Structure 1
C-alpha cells in the first residue's frame, strides 16, 4: 500500500489510532495511571509537530503523518515486548533486589524500534 491511496483525513485517523494503541500499550507495560497520563504527552507533541512542520512547508502533511504513525506503531510494539522486563523488575523490587536492564537489551530494543519505523515508512512512502 502506498501513502497516496489514503487521504490526509484518513492518515489522521491512522495517526490517532496508533496514538491510542501507544497509550494502551504504555499502560499495559507500566500499569501506572499517572505514567499513562504522562504518556499522552508524546502523541500530542507528535501531532503538533506534524501540523507545524506541514504548515511551515506548505504541504498537506501526508509524509509527516506516515512517519508519525510508523514511529508510534513501532514504539507500541516495543512497549509490548518490554512488558516482560517490567514484570521482572517488579518481581525483583518486591523481593528487595534491584533489577537493571542489561545495556545490550536496551540497545537491541532501541535498534528494533528505529529499524521497524524506518521499514514501515519506507514501504508506505
Structure 2
C-alpha cells in the first residue's frame, strides 16, 4: 500500500481515527481525567501542523497526514506499552514509596516506537 492509494479526504479520516486511538490509549491506560484532557493537545497541534505544511516546505497535505497519523499511532502504542509500569508507579505512590522504571526498558520502548514509525512511514511514502 502506498499513500497515493487513498485520497486526501480518506487520509483525514485515518488521521481522525489515529487521534481517537491515541486519546483512547491515554484514557484507558492512565485512568486520569487530567491526562486525558492534556492528551487532546497532541492531536490539535498535529492538525495545525498538517494544515501549516500544506503547500509549504515542499510537502503535500497527504504526506503530512501520513506522518501525523503514524506518529499518533506510535505514541498510542508507547502508552499501551508503558501501562504496566504506570500501574506500578501509581501503586507505589499510594504506599508512599517510589518506583523507577529500568533504563533499559525505557530505551527499548523508545527504540521500538521510533522504529515502528520510521518503517511504516517509509513503507507508505
TM-score range, shorter chain: over 0.9
Q: CA separation in 2, counterparts of 1:9 and 1:31?
A: 32
2:54 partner SS: helix
CA RMSD for the aligned pairs?
1.3
CA distance in 2, matches of 1:113, 1:57: 26
Stretches of structure 1 lacking an aligned partner (at least 5 in a row):
none
How big is each residue's C-alpha offset from its partner over 1:36-95, in whole Å with a ceiling of 9 and x where there is no partner?
A: 101000111011111101132475411111111111111111111111111111111122
User: Normalising by the residue count of structure 2, what TM-score does the alignment of the two structures yield?
Assistant: 0.93
Aligned partner of 1:55 in structure 2 is 55
Superposition TM-score, scaled by structure 1 size = 0.93
- Counterparts of 1:90 and 1:58 in 2: how far apart (Å)? 45
Matched, 1:26 2:26: yes
User: For 2:55, what is the secondary structure of its paired residue?
Assistant: helix
Give the Å deviation of 1:2. 0.9
Which stretches of structure 1, 4 residues or more, deviate above 6 A after TM superposition? none
How many residues align? The count is 125
Corresponding residue for 2:38?
Answer: 38
